Amino acid sequence: MLKRFTVDGYRNFPVPVTFDFSASRDYQFAENNVRLGIVTNALLIGRNASGKSNFGASLFDITLGFSKQLDFSDQEDRLYLNADCGRGAARFTYDFEFDGREIRYRYEKIAPRAWLHESLAIDGECIFDFNNYKGVFEEKHLDRIGADGVNFEFSDSSLSLLAYITSSLPTDVLGVLAELRHFVSRMRLIRMDDVRVKGIETRRVIDRIIREDKVAHFQSFIRDFGIDENLVVVKEPDGTPVLYFDHPMRYIPFVEACSSGTRTLVKLFSELELKESASFLFIDEFDAFCHFEMAESLLKFFASKTSCQILCSTHNTSLVKNGVMRPDCVYQISAKDGIRTLADSTERELRLGNNIEKLLRAGEFD
């Protein structure tokens, strides 16, 4: 799991900003949001332009180093570095823990695929410290992971050195680094305001649901969130199967008729029920099209997905209530104070009966 992440010099982060997933309290409620002392279901709140979306993007920067298939626009390239950071580079530090072993991976970049420096440590021991700009190792102990025989002649400069090493060795040799590579390959970023949530993406997901015979599963899924509809698959004259709402008087085409909130559920069903199990999800503005009751139900559903960590951003302060979340699983982001939990933002002892939203609106956590 991801234990801690720090970003510096990227987009609107001129100074280091750290997100610590370690549970800082021992609350006896909403305990399914924490596993083995690590927060697995977290909520990120903040004012407009506080950096919620940019922080989510920074978390997933590591995935660029492991895949050439991930693309980015010219605009993303131009906006990559913070304008007020005098260092002229963005720095990313990831702390992972797998089966009791800790990995720290740190790197600096000047563009999405332009590395300046990389370093890797396992259980506090340096594995390598590589100057990408000069193409030389400043410290090298690859024998500690059985990688001393790796040939770097054909390494790809558009990918990270860590990605090259982990792709050059068999899984049984990699050990804990195999866990890291598998984790990164299953990290997913979901933006609810993305145009793909609409029309063509919804139709693509529904077609897959039909092909994989998961209509009953999907119907049960949306009913859990208050969409009490019967669904039926009807073949068109050309033989194409199409999903409809089953109403007494007539069938209503699902894709054309479903609301924005229902499209949100289609997107989440696709990501959480159809694809390979995710290791880490960042869902930006997850409740953008949701009634508050559906948003609460979604958070409780995310807490049940014990195989992955989920971080959601929102503007909805009603979701911070103790019946849904807990104060050390709700994080605030601000330009002044960076990121910190509500529990760490006050000297007050927070209890189950506290009205957390009221305290938040009153400035208790400022």
Which stretches does DSSP call E strand in 201-291?
A: 231-235, 241-246, 251-253, 280-284
Give 82-108 pLDDT, tens digit per residue.
988 777 899 999 999 999 999 999 999
Whether 220 contacts 301, CB under 8 Å: no
What pLDDT shows up at residue 269?
93
pLDDT value of residue 195: 46
Greatest extent of the chain over all pairs of C-alpha atoms, in Å: 74
Q: What is the pLDDT of residue 75?
A: 56
What single-letter DSSP state applies at residue 278? Answer: P
How many CA atoms lie within 13 Å of 151's alpha carbon, on the beta-carbon side?
Answer: 2
CA angle 284, 42, 330 (to 5 degrees): 105
The yes-or-no verdict on residue 196 having pLDDT over 90 is no
Q: Tell me, what DSSP letter sits at residue 110?
A: E
- Which domains are present in the chain? 2-186 (3.40.50), 191-316 (3.40.50.300)
Residue 353's CB is within 10 A of a number of other CB atoms, namely 6
Report the distance separating Cα 299 and Cα 146, nearest Å: 42
Q: Taking residues 123-142, what's their average pLDDT?
A: 93
Q: Which two tokens stand for residue 125?
A: 């021991």
Cα–Cα distance, 254 to 243 (Å, whole number): 6
Q: Mean pLDDT of all residues in the chain? A: 90
Q: What is the pLDDT of residues 197-250, one digit of tens each?
A: 557 788 999 999 999 999 999 999 999 999 999 999 999 888 899 999 999 889
Which pLDDT value is given to residue 87? 79
Residue 137 predicted with pLDDT over 60: yes
In what order do the strands lie in the sheet containing 241-246? 231-235, 241-246, 251-253
Q: What is the pLDDT of residues 311-338, one digit of tens each?
A: 999 999 999 988 889 999 999 998 778 9
Whether the Cβ atoms of residue 305 and residue 33 lie closer than 8 Å to each other: no
Instruction: Locate 355 and state its tokens.
Output: 């009205």
pLDDT given for residue 37 in this prediction: 92
Q: Is 335 helix (H, G, I), strand (E, B) or coil?
A: coil
Q: Mean of the pLDDT values across residues 50-63?
A: 93
Instruction: Kindly state the average pLDDT of the residues 64-93.
Output: 79
Flag whether pLDDT at 33 surpasses 80. yes
Q: Is the pLDDT of residue 152 over 70?
A: yes
